[in-house]
Chains A and B, each alone.
Chain A
Amino acid sequence: MRLLTHNMLSSNIKGVANGFPLRIEVEKVVEKKVELNADFLRNIFPKIEWKAFAEAARTLGYAELPEDADSSFLGSDDFLDKFHHALLELHLEEGALICPETGRRFPVNKGIPNMLLHEDEG
């Protein structure tokens, strides 16, 4: 699971008011090289919740992202490289996503987050 995915997901358990951002429990992180596509990064940037994103990157052991970012940063190649690396090259291979309100674990195995709810949660 890449951090792009993490930034899109929340705990959708019934009654949970604030299921975002999910806390990350790390067992295994892998890095995979991906070709950088600047257009894609510029398109996706405004959709990213930056605080949650930078925090998630730190949890995976990558602390190079600025605390805050706005679209003026997109002109910098250095920023794009870092953004690209954190967004698409870091993978949570094994671990879990934890609902911030209830502590419910959504397991991540082989890089696939399992977001399906139990019968009493939907």
Chain B
Amino acid sequence: MWYLCVFYHRLLDYRKAEVESLAELFRVFGDDDGDNKESSSLEWRLPQHHHPDSPFHFVNLPSEDAARSIANRSILVKGIYELWGEGSSYEGLEESIRCYPDERKLPYLDSGSTFKITVDCFGKVISFQEQNDRIKGLSYIPFKGRANLRNPDHNFWLMETDDYGTNNGLPPVVQRRIFFGREVGGADRKLLPTYQLKSRTYLGPTAMDAEIAFLMANQALATPGKLVYDPFVGTGSILIAAAHFGAMTMGADIDIRVVRDGRGPDCNVWSNFKQYGLPMPVALLRADNNLPPWRPGLKEIFDAIICDPPYGVRAGGRKSGGRKLLKGTVDPYTVPDDKRTDHIPSTAAYSLVECVHDLLDLAARMIVMGGRLVFFYPVLREDDHVEDHHYPEHPCFKLIATSEQILSSRYSRVLLTMVKIGPYTEEIAEAAQLKHIEFRENHLKWLEDGNLHSAVFSPADPQMAAAGDSSLSREPKPKYRGKYV
């Protein structure tokens, strides 16, 4: 059955991907444990003349229970509604509601139930008086129950949009349309103030925003009984979202001060979990992703890996080995035996390419079949007239969702969701090992190639600026998304 799915007008790229993932999580297409999971993608439809960025979508779901589960678990679904009628005018709406079959309507209108009607609009403001008038205008619907604004049995929504042309740099997103429907479910946005970063005790410079962390946990299908790993755990901000949804969590970081000490006994990664009454991570450890400490033979243990790798824009990655050591100017420093216990091994910068290579290799080995790898990948926006970006690829993984979040005019980050579709074979392991050695030998070269920091923060190419006119005539990028939404 087709439902009206209305989104919050933010993080536009993340909205459908979230619903698709939750459909998978709640197995709305039945229990097909086979390999043909790919076929189970949702059917979507837009209202007439609506732009794809419109908050209004229609989605085909097998049952109301499925719709409710998805909506209630989501972060970006304002509501999923059983649509009773729609029109471009109030006359059209009335006709459409009258035509909607009585057997679908009457059970929700009977005298024993309570109801509430909410008037909502997109792209304009309606005064309280006008809202009341619009509700009164619905008198042709035979409501027999009593109104209850606090805790009604049935929630009805009257939603209005206008054709307002371009506005604040936004393209004309929608055309005047009025919807009336019964609410089936909606996101619990109260989570966000509860988990907002400013109330969190232990924070790092790159702690993940609560809303995005929840979206990542949804992409990773975090749920009770599953084990979720973050190899760049930091202050645990991503795992907190996964733990909220009931998953067991495990994290590693190369910086021992973060994972072990924090800022004292009541301000560390553990206390962040305690603050929200969440179960503690199963494990936190200090490890180098470049030389991971997993025992040989250990594989397919994590249901998902979620992380925000250090790309070197706000915080650089580190791996084992000193600067001079990797350059080859000095031999490995032999630690004197009497200093071994307290020795602090040196680390060196970790380039984006190498970091992503290690992450994919780790994920290919350690994620269960059908499990998910969810991580952020940086993209320079200058590149995006070249239609499709080159995202990292791996033979064990299939990319199923890319959600861009524009961070500045120069760069954005894309949340990649991958599903493990192939086993980690000997050949893949060998190829990864060769690549690992190649990285070792060409450390400096790769580091310069992958230096995102300078690409993002250095001034734009002056020649480009001089040729300003011609570059302006290029297909304009949809910059509004980052700026206004």
Contacts and interface: CB of A to CB of B under 8 A. Distances in A.
20 contacts: A5-B285, A7-B295, A9-B293, A12-B291, A12-B294, A21-B295, A32-B280, A37-B224, A40-B225, A40-B227, A44-B227, A109-B260, A112-B260, A112-B286, A114-B260, A114-B286, A116-B254, A119-B325, A122-B320, A122-B321
Interface in A11-53: 11-12, 19-21, 32, 34-35, 37, 39-40, 43-44, 47, 49
Contact of A118 (B256, B260, B295, B335): B335
Interface string B293-321: 11110101101000000000000000011
B152 interface: no
Contacts of A39: 224-225
Contacts of B293: 9-12, 115
A54 interface: no
B256 to A, nearest CB: 6
Nearest to A32: B280
A92 to B, nearest CB: 11
Contacts of B280: 32
A90 interface: no
**Nearest 3 pairs between A and B by C-beta?**
A39-B225, A10-B295, A5-B283
Interface residues of B, number: 43
A50 to B, nearest CB: 13
Interface stretch (B36-44, B64-72, B339-347, B416-424): B339-347
B423 to A, nearest CB: 15
A98 interface: no
B305 to A, nearest CB: 14
Given A37-B224, A117-B288, A47 B300 contact: yes
B363 to A, nearest CB: 15
B295 A119 contact: no
A119 B282 contact: no
B334 interface: yes
Nearest to B330: A119
B291 A122 contact: yes
Nearest to B260: A112
Interface of B: 224-227, 248, 250, 254, 256, 259-261, 279-280, 282-288, 291-296, 298, 300-301, 303, 320-322, 325, 332-335, 340-341, 343, 345-346
A120 interface: yes
A110 B285 CA distance: 11
A76 B221 CA distance: 29
Given A40-B226, A119-B320, 10 more contacts: A9-B293, A10-B295, A43-B226, A109-B260, A112-B256, A113-B286, A119-B321, A119-B325, A119-B335, A122-B320
A105 interface: yes
A117 B225 contact: no
Nearest to B283: A5
B345 A117 contact: yes
Nearest to A11: B293
A44 B322 contact: no
A119 B283 contact: no
B294 A10 contact: yes
A86 interface: no
Contacts of A49: 295
B295 A117 contact: no
A1 interface: yes
B292 A12 contact: yes
A112 B291 contact: no
Nearest to A47: B301
B221 to A, nearest CB: 14
A60 interface: no
A116 B294 contact: no
A120 B287 contact: no
Contacts of A32: 280
Contacts of A88: 282
A8 B300 CA distance: 12
Contacts of A118: 335, 340, 343, 345
A107 B344 CA distance: 12
A10 B291 CA distance: 11
Contacts of B340: 118
Contact of A116 (B256, B282, B284, B303): B256
Nearest to B261: A110
B226 to A, nearest CB: 8
Contacts of B288: 115-117
A88 B249 CA distance: 12
A40 B249 CA distance: 12
A10 B296 CA distance: 8
A94 to B, nearest CB: 12
A56 interface: no
A2 interface: yes
B291 A120 contact: no
A74 to B, nearest CB: 14
A62 to B, nearest CB: 18
Contacts of B334: 120
B320 A110 contact: no
A37 B260 CA distance: 27
A21 B256 CA distance: 23
